[in-house]
Amino acid sequence: MNASKRISKPGTRGVTVRTAGLSLRLDVRGAVVGLLLIAVALVMSVVLIGTGDFPIAPADVVRTLFGDGTVAQDFIVNELRLPRVLVGLLVGAALGLGGAIFQSISRNPLGSPDVIGLGQGAAAGALTAIVLIKGDPSVVATGAVLGGVLTGIAVYALAWRQGVHGYRLVLVGIGTSATFTAVNGYLLTQAHQEDAARAVMWLTGSLNGRDWDQVWPLLSVCAVLLPVVLGHAPGLRMLEMGDDSAYALGVPVERTRMVMMGAAVLLTASATAAAGPVAFVALVAPQLARRLTRSPGPNLLPAAWMGATLLVTADWASQRAFGADQLPVGVLTGMLGGAYLLWLLVSERKAGRI
């Protein structure tokens, strides 16, 4: 049997690689963009690990990560700073991936977890654990996950009418977000001073103080859900053409939509539980990834790499750009993301879509 590899002529979107019994379409530009984003994320991670009150040169950071640092460098790098950076990478990747799924399902660049209320729902669960239960960090994280999951179920149920479509999902999500914003405000007014301060710190979204206790649960969630998401990615791409076209191509529409929305909700809720509601990464990362790859479809992996890159870069900037006054990373992403949201709304209005 002839098992030789044959590569077709490159097209505008990529090349087709064929072997015996296998045909694989490779998006060359998307692969290159993904590799570049991974490289930037790794470089920024090394720089971020070396940033702080005890600065460490990038070369020393790399040597320490490979076990050749001094005792002091090993403690600072591996015990204090590496977990924070890993949480940042995982949170950014989870938010970017979750945002890409929601924007693809809604076929709307505004259909991100920030806009449709998942962040506020997770925050309501966390505030309930802080204010009413007075739970420890693990209880708060569990409350955030439960709040995000229940919010996702509610949004899906309220938006479903012979399927979940575009602006209906966004509008239901905006209403849900407004409701939970009011609930969260009420919970803050009922909190004692110490609990209120703790709640406000959590609501800003921050990587400060993150350690291995946040790394392992989030890594486990990502490791389980990533294969599920990638396995359903072809069906998700067909859904962007509309339910009727997807049905005609043999895609189990409702099952694919439910599985992907469930995965996106869990990714977003787990990321929020680990770092608080880090604003707008889920909105911005998929759109930037799509503009870089210039490829149709959800661009799931590029969105994940973009989210990771954005968050570690924003964390580095929040530590360096404001002198001695370090900002929580959620404040910086909120400012930049808010400006991006205004630009996106103006662009959508000029295009006649809103």
CA-based nearest residue to 96, from 146, 34, 45, 152: 34
pLDDT of 91 above 90? yes
pLDDT score recorded for residue 35:
94
pLDDT digit string, tens, across residues 234-259: 888 888 887 778 888 888 888 898 89
Instruction: With beta carbons less than 8 A apart as the criterion, state whether 38 and 54 touch.
Output: no
Is the domain spanning 70-288 CATH 1.10.3470.10? The answer is: yes
Residue range 121-135: average pLDDT? Answer: 91
Residue 184 or residue 26, greater confidence: 184
Looking at residue 31, its pLDDT comes to: 87
pLDDT band at 135 (very low <50, low <70, confident <90, very high): confident
- CA 261, chain centre distance (Å): 13
Question: For the purposes of burial, counting CB atoms within 10 Å of the CB of 201, is it exposed (0-12), middle (13-18) or buried (19 or more)?
Answer: middle
What residues pair up with 22 in beta bridges, in sequence order?
19
Higher per-residue pLDDT: 351 or 205: 205
The domain locations on the chain are 70-288
Q: Mention every residue, 6+ apart, whose C-beta is less than 8 A from residue 197.
A: none
Q: What is the pLDDT of residue 2?
A: 45
Residue 166: the pLDDT is: 66
| 3-state secondary structure at position 23 | strand
For 23-54, the pLDDT digits (tens) are 445 678 888 999 999 999 999 999 999 988 88
- In one letter, which amino acid is 130? I
Query: What spatial distance separates the first Cα and last Cα of the chain, rounded to whole Å?
Result: 56
149 pLDDT band (50/70/90 cuts)? very high
H or E element at residue 17: strand 15-19
Give the relative orientation of helices 118-127 and 166-190 as an angle to the nearest 10 degrees.
20
pLDDT at 304: 95
Question: Which amino acid does the sequence have at 192?
Answer: H
Q: Is 119 exposed, middle or buried (0-12, 13-18, 19+ CB in 10 A)?
A: buried
Strand partners of residue 256: none
CA distance 346 to 223: 37
Please give the mean pLDDT across all residues of the chain: 85
Of 16-20, 64-68, 137-141, 224-228, the poorest mean pLDDT is in: 16-20
What is the C-alpha separation between 307 and 89, in angstroms, rounded?
Answer: 8
User: What's the pTM value of the predicted model, to 2 decimals?
Assistant: 0.89
- How far apart (Å, rounded) are the C-alpha atoms in residues 325 and 303? 30
pLDDT at 10 over 70: no
pLDDT for the residue 144: 94
**Exposure class string for 258-276: b at 16+ Cβ within 10 A, else e:** ebbbbbbbbbbbbbbbbbb
Q: What is the dihedral of CA 134, 137, 139, 145, to 10 degrees?
A: 120
Mean pLDDT, range 7-19, rounded to an integer:
49
- In tens, the pLDDT along 270-325 reads 999 999 999 889 999 998 999 898 887 788 999 999 999 999 999 999 888 765 55
